[in-house]
Amino acid sequence: MKLLLRYPLPLDEMPYTAEVILETGAKINIDRATRDELIVDVPGDDVEHVAELFREKGVEVRKLLKLITWDEERCIHCGACISVCPTRVFTFNPSWNINLEEEKCVRCEICVKACPLSALACVE
Amino acid sequence: MADTMTEKSIEEINERIEDGSVRVVTADRMSEIVSELGAEEAAKEVDVVTTGTFGPMCSSGVFLNFGHADPPIKMQRVWLNDVEAYAGIAAVDAYLGATQLSEEKGLNYGGGYVIEDLVAGKPIDMRAAGYVTDCYPRKDLETTITLEDLNQAIMVNPRNAYQRYASATNSTDRTLYTYMGTLLPNYRNVNYSGAGALSPLYNDPDFETIGVGTRIFLCGAGGYVVGMGTQHDPIHRFGTLMVTGNLKEMNPEFLKGATFHGYGVTLYVGIGIPIPILNERMAKKTAISDADVVTDVIDYGVGRRERPVLRTVTYEELKSGMIELGGKEVPTSPLSSFFMANKVADELTSRIEQGEFFLSPQVERLSRDTVVKPMKQPELPLVKDVMIREVKTVDDRASIAEAAKLMMESQSTHIPVLSGDGKLAGMVTAWDISTAVAKRHEELSEIMTKKVITAGLEEPLELVIRKMERSNISALPVIDDERRVIGMVSSDEISKLIGKRKKWQWKLRI
């Protein structure tokens, strides 16, 4: 499962993620990182424990159940989203309609701007 | 004699449509059929090849007639959902263009969306302003209309169905938002448009059947080819069509308003054109595959009319999802929809098979020798016309104090820093020096800007001004191909030039 972590401001330069990894031994994958926000992929069994430890350290934790929303009614399957996506979330099916693999999404939002039909959105 | 055996007329094909015996295939299947049966047999077996395209076509719009108001108004300006339509045609006629932007919502809404909303039956807020005459006493008007309320709504698209289109990439180090979509920095993606082997004009490149008066499928309605489109360029296989159709008969599934981020609004248009297989020659021409349709990969990082061509590429390669560019595999994205283009061709096929759509012979052939000329314009000032040629530079091993001294002596706030080999290594400004003093830096290389925005000798000043605005800088070095500094352009020189021009204009007015 993916977690959105928001670090307390001002940043106190503490290696929270490293600490949580060492304490839990969880294989945490960092999908995307900005200055005070991190999206991490945590194996299912470790999610609760990892989330709890981050919260204890004062980090805001939100479970990302929906990474990206796709308005299939609006979509015309052009494919403008395909080449801009850094993690290859979008591919064509043999009949040239879009296939979306949500679990690959790191919420960079590049596709949101690239979609001419405004059919993609990253909701909170 | 063998050739006359397979010669058919459009009347004969229409008879077959009438009696239900017509044989129709979509263009993407034709290459297979011809390679299996040979062109001669294929021409006997197939009566009609259907083509289709569904892409963003900016040069589109609708003529609207609103009926007369009471008291009557001669509309001088008219807005539909806050998007202005051209009203300089009689009293209550207007032309709404697809790319016109909403005055309130900017790039997020515009003509393309209004057209889609009209077809979807949505109510549209209308506002008009006129001038008073004896026959039109009313000054302004506000109402709400739907497509049904209009007398006529006729789509007339000046340039649609480009035979093929160039694909786009970006050499610069920033993301570009263009009418060719989002172009990632450093050639990280390639976007393309067009329907490849399903493209109407690519299946009839010599316009033997597609011409003035050809009946077509336009956004769900029956429509016609008016003639060649604007910027029709048949010699370079960039033919275009002007098309028309009744908006009232269109289907919102086959036309969509859209926004290209940072560029603006457009309209996705679905066009299907039937090609009668009158003979072996037409069978051969419609047998093209994506591998036969070649286009250029163009660098949109260059803001000029003539952009560099990086390579040629086939639609087969583009459609594979990856192409090779400068030794790297780069992902590709179509901007037009193959899914919808197939749907257009399938829908046209089914209408012909069910006897609902008949073919029409062309009234006149499209031009095969029209050329596209660039705009006639006065020469614009270039960097070389205004740049300072005597530029003081400083070595990157110099001290901050030396740079400061040079700045004072040359009365320049921007000094290019050169590396040992005489090439541009950075820029140091008066601001950098103050920072150095405040933060107690010692080395010039610590404080200078290393990622320097530069200009070329032949670059139009207009583009340099855009760079200055974008990066919030007031001067930039002019460099040659070897990154040697040959001049400087600053906002001072530009203001002087503008000042001169104003004086000149003032003189003209007297």
Tens-place pLDDT, residues B156-187: 999 999 999 999 999 999 999 999 999 999 99
Confidence of residue B502 (pLDDT cuts 50, 70, 90): low
Is pLDDT at B367 greater than 60 in this prediction? yes
d(CA A104, CA A89): 6
Task: Report the residue count for chain A.
Answer: 124
| Structural domain range at position B93 | 67-150
Record: contact A92-B336, CB cut-off 8 A: no
Contact A1, A47 (CB under 8 A): yes
Q: What is the reported pLDDT for B380?
A: 83
Which residues in chain A are closer than 8 Å to B335, comparing Cβ atoms?
A: 78-80, 116
From the candidate CATH numbers 3.30.70.250, 3.40.50.300, 3.20.20.70, 2.30.30.60, the one assigned to the domain spanning A2-64:
3.30.70.250
Record: contact B337-A77, CB cut-off 8 A: yes
Is pLDDT at B263 greater than 70 in this prediction? yes
> How many inter-chain contacts (A to B, CB under 8 Å) are there?
76
Q: What is the reported pLDDT for B508?
A: 40
Same structural domain, B339 and B451: no
Has residue B309 been placed in a domain?
no
Q: What is the reported pLDDT for B427?
A: 94
Has residue B78 been placed in a domain?
yes
Same structural domain, B206 and B76: no
Q: Where are the alpha helices (DSSP H) in B218-337?
A: 280-285, 315-319
Confidence of residue A15 (pLDDT cuts 50, 70, 90): confident
Same structural domain, B211 and B267: yes
Q: What is the reported pLDDT for B2?
A: 47
Confidence of residue B309 (pLDDT cuts 50, 70, 90): very high
Is pLDDT at B504 greater than 50 in this prediction? no
d(CA B369, CA B61): 27
CA B164 to chain centre: 12
Q: Which of B341, B319, B158, B312 is nearest to B237 (CA)?
A: B312
Same structural domain, B51 and B79: no
pTM: 0.88
B398 compared with B322, residue with greater pLDDT: B322
Bridge-based pairing state of the strands A120-121 and A69-70: antiparallel
Query: What's the pLDDT tens digit per position in B91-109?
Result: 999 999 999 999 999 999 9
Query: Of the given ranges (A12-26, B32-46, B126-140, B447-461), which has the lowest mean pLDDT?
Result: A12-26
What integer is the mean pLDDT of A35-40?
Answer: 86
Is pLDDT at A10 greater than 80 in this prediction? no
Q: Where are the domains of chain A?
A: 2-64, 68-124
**Set B135, B408, B508, B510: catalytic member:** B135
Query: What's the pLDDT tens digit per position in A59-109?
Result: 999 998 889 999 999 999 999 999 999 999 999 999 999 999 999 999 999
Q: How many domains does chain B have?
A: 3
Same structural domain, B35 and B92: no
Same structural domain, B283 and B358: yes
Same structural domain, B201 and B129: no
Q: What is the reported pLDDT for B5?
A: 58
Tokens 């590396």 label which residue? Answer: B419
Same structural domain, B20 and B40: yes
Q: Tokens standing for B463? A: 């583009």
Same structural domain, B348 and B451: no
**Chain A residues within 8 Å of chain B (Cβ atoms):** 76-84, 88, 91-92, 95-97, 110, 113-114, 116-118
**Mean model confidence pLDDT for chain A:** 92
Contact B102, B83 (CB under 8 A): yes
Is pLDDT at A124 greater than 70 in this prediction? no
The conformation of residue B108, written as its DSSP 8-state character, comes to E
Q: What is the reported pLDDT for B440?
A: 84
Is pLDDT at B293 greater than 50 in this prediction? yes
Which residues in chain B are closer than 8 Å to A94, comparing Cβ atoms?
A: none
Query: What's the pLDDT tens digit per position in B431-450?
Result: 899 888 888 888 888 889 99
- The residue among B339, B342, B344 with the most chain A CBs within 10 A of its CB, best to mutate, is B339
Same structural domain, B47 and B196: yes
Is pLDDT at B327 greater than 70 in this prediction? yes
Catalytic status, residue B219: no
**Mean model confidence pLDDT for chain B:** 94
Query: What's the pLDDT tens digit per position in B51-95?
Result: 999 999 999 999 999 999 999 999 999 999 999 999 999 999 999
DSSP lists the bridge partners of residue B414 as B429
d(CA B39, CA A104): 47
Topology adopted by domain A68-124: Alpha-Beta Plaits (3.30.70)
Record: contact A116-B54, CB cut-off 8 A: no
Q: What is the reported pLDDT for B412?
A: 87
The backbone torsions φ and ψ at residue A110, rounded to the nearest 5 degrees and listed phi first, read -65, -40
Share of chain B above pLDDT 90, in %: 84
What integer is the mean pLDDT of B340-357?
Answer: 98
d(CA B172, CA B130): 47
d(CA B168, CA B179): 10
Has residue B170 been placed in a domain?
no
Same structural domain, B240 and B342: yes
Is pLDDT at B137 greater than 70 in this prediction? yes
Contact B393, B417 (CB under 8 A): yes
**A2-64 and A68-124, same CATH topology:** yes
Confidence of residue B488 (pLDDT cuts 50, 70, 90): very high
Q: What is the reported pLDDT for B436?
A: 86
CA B424 to chain centre: 36
Record: contact B339-A113, CB cut-off 8 A: no
Q: What is the reported pLDDT for B505?
A: 47
Record: contact B268-A80, CB cut-off 8 A: no
Same structural domain, B284 and B266: yes
d(CA B366, CA B23): 27
Task: Report the residue count for chain B.
Answer: 510
Using a CB–CB cutoff of 8 Å, tell me whether B263 touches chain A: no
Is pLDDT at B36 greater than 70 in this prediction? yes
What integer is the mean pLDDT of B230-259?
Answer: 97
Has residue B300 been placed in a domain?
no
Which of B124, B150, B176 is a domain's end point?
B150
B504 compared with A19, residue with greater pLDDT: A19
Query: Of the given ranges (A43-52, B312-321, B488-497), which has the lowest mean pLDDT?
Result: B488-497
Is pLDDT at B501 greater than 90 in this prediction? no
Q: What is the 3-state secondary structure (H, E, C) of B338-354?
A: HHHHHHHHHHHHHHHHC
Which residues in chain B are closer than 8 Å to A116, comparing Cβ atoms?
A: 56, 181, 258-260, 266, 268, 335
SS3 call for B154: strand
Q: Which of B54, B261, B330 sits opposite A114 (nearest CB)?
A: B261
